[in-house]
Amino acid sequence: MVEEHHEADDEENQTNGHEELFAVMTGHAVFTVDGEEIDAPAGTIVFARDPALLRAARATADGTAILAVGGPAGIPYTVSRWEASLP
């Protein structure tokens, strides 16, 4: 559901502290954050403050939906490079 990644590739992300919040809306998932597995049934919130932490999630139930929101703390939203490249 969420491929393994970190947000430390970009100096701006390191400087501004890119954070990500994941909310399991339906179903059930298992997150891995910095090597730690987190059991996440619907209603669970997972927060990754440190941009250097590896994070990922996999669904363990059909119909799992995850809402992901991320960005640097205290800075208004701007479209990222990868979002701008999507059709």
DSSP SS3 for 56: strand
pLDDT at 13 over 60: no
What average pLDDT does the chain have? 88
CA distances from 1 to 5, 23, 24, 71 (A): 12, 12, 11, 19
Write the pLDDT tens digit of every residue in 46-85. 999 999 999 999 999 999 999 999 888 888 877 777 777 7
Fold of 2-84: Jelly Rolls (2.60.120)
Predicted structure pTM score = 0.80
